[in-house]
């Protein structure tokens, strides 16, 4: 095991990837700029040098699995781990060499800058108890007949939801929904109850208020105990191993309660609905394992054994309202955790808080103008004979 750690330490220390313009988050459509820095103690053969960006979605939880027990000749259940993995987005850029043929680089330090533009339709970084969506930047030195040199870091992508992309102008028009039922007691009808709900529009963004009206007509002999409005966020997580399954997380974003209504009465209720600015609105576009929808539910609560009368709707909720121009600085989007900012100087501060166990930014990135003789690594003339310092990941291997 110690031999493996030393081999891993040596392999990881040869390659490092840095981000030059990372301030704690990127937005879809942003330009990612960085560099791959290689330190070789001797001439190194390789096929190519490349960087890769991967947006990976992962789900995982424990659940019951049904199986057939051949010794007992019957079906049993057991606890097992369900999981799902999928790359929602991946791109690769070759910095040197190619897929075929070999080349070599002399001893010393080699620096390869790169620029990659993120697509505009990307999901955002996300994390919950059932899974996560993470972005990785990976640098790879492809070596023939040998272990590749590799380094990686995780960065955050903030993806505000632009309702303009839905392309439905009817979402801004008023809509109405209704439901009714007849109260019965011992097979005798007491009278009808109706619930009519009106929406000024079917869209909502954080910070704005939408007044939802509910008109209740109670022509029965039963008093209503109250009327309730609830806005819920329903996040569905999916797994595909060992079997396909899903789990839904229900988050109550807004809940309001009003007084009841007596028998043979009518009343119109108004619910001013406003989402807080710090509400978490995950963007799952291009995702296969995550899905989100929102639900308006107005409930007329009935006493005893009578079932409640409900009206349910599905609004479109995002960060940018239809007709407004999206701006990353004023979108009010939140990731659910504090987004870190870069240190003012390369050697100031600690590594950024890890997301998934990997630092999202190096604590001491060398400046872009760094020369081979300035770094003091490698086997060239006038260089330090000491090996380069270990990467953050390699240190995590030591107990």
Instruction: Kindly report the length of the chain.
Output: 399
Residue 238: beta bridge partners?
A: 246
Q: Give Dmax over CA atoms of the chain in angstroms.
A: 101
Domain locations in the chain?
A: 2-158+335-395, 163-317
Same fold, 2-158+335-395 and 163-317: yes
Using CB atoms within 10 Å of the CB of residue 205, give its burial: 0 to 12 exposed, 13 to 18 middle, 19+ buried: buried
The C-alpha angle 313, 315, 319, rounded to 5 degrees, equals 160
Residue 295: beta bridge partners?
A: 232
The string of pLDDT tens digits covering residues 282-302 is: 999 999 999 999 999 999 999
Residue (of 86, 55, 28) closest to 319 by Cα position? 28
CATH topology of domain 2-158+335-395: Immunoglobulin-like (2.60.40)
Which string of b and e fits 361-382 if b means at least 16 CB within 10 Å?
Answer: bbeebbeeeeebeebebbeeee
3-state secondary structure of 117: strand
Q: Which pLDDT score, from 0 to 100, does residue 327 have?
A: 65
Query: Has domain 163-317 been given CATH number 2.60.40.640?
Result: yes
Query: What CA–CA distance (Å, rounded) separates 207 from 275?
Result: 6
Residue 270: which residues within 8 A CB-CB, separation 6 or more? Answer: 211, 212, 213, 214
CB of 61 closer than 8 Å to CB of 247: yes
Which ranges of the chain have pLDDT less than 50?
A: 3-6, 8-13, 328-332, 334-399
Q: Which pLDDT score, from 0 to 100, does residue 29 have?
A: 95
């Amino acid at each position: 095991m110690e031999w493996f750690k030393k081999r891993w330490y040596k392999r990881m220390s040869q390659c490092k990837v840095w981000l030059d313009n990372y301030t704690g988050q990127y937005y879809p459509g942003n330009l990612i700029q960085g560099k791959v820095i290689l330190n070789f103690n001797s001439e190194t053969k390789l096929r190519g040098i490349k960087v890769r960006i991967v947006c990976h979605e992962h789900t995982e939880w424990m659940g019951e699995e049904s199986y057939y027990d051949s010794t007992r000749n019957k079906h049993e259940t057991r606890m097992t781990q369900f999981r799902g993995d999928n790359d929602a987005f991946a791109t690769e850029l070759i910095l040197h060499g190619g897929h075929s043929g070999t080349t070599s680089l002399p001893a010393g330090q080699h620096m390869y800058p790169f620029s990659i533009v993120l697509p505009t339709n990307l999901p955002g970084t996300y994390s919950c108890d059932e899974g996560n969506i993470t972005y990785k930047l990976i640098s790879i030195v492809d070596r023939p007949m040998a272990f590749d040199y590799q380094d990686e870091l995780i960065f955050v992508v903030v993806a505000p939801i632009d309702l303009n992309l839905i392309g439905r102008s009817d979402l801004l028009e008023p809509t109405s929904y209704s439901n009714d039922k007849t109260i019965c007691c011992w097979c005798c009808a007491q009278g009808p109850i109706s619930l009519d709900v009106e929406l000024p529009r079917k869209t909502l963004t954080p910070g704005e208020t939408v007044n939802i009206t509910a008109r209740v007509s109670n022509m029965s002999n039963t008093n209503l105990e109250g009327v309730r409005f609830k806005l819920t966020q329903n996040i569905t997580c999916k797994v595909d191993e060992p079997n396909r399954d899903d789990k839904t997380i229900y988050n109550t974003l807004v809940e309001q309660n009003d007084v009841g209504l007596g028998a043979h009465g009518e009343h119109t209720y108004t619910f001013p609905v406003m989402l807080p600015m710090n509400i978490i609105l995950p963007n799952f576009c291009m995702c296969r394992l995550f899905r989100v929808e929102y639900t308006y539910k107005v409930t007329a609560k009935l006493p005893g054994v009578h079932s409640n009368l409900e009206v349910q709707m599905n609004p479109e909720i995002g960060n940018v309202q239809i007709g407004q121009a999206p701006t990353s600085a004023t979108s009010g989007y939140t990731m659910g955790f504090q987004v870190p900012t870069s240190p003012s100087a390369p050697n100031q501060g600690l590594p950024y808080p890890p997301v998934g166990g990997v630092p999202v930014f190096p604590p001491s990135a060398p400046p872009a103008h760094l020369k081979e003789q300035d770094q003091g690594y490698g086997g060239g003339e006038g260089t330090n004979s000491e090996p380069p310092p270990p990467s953050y990941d390699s240190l995590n291997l030591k107990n």
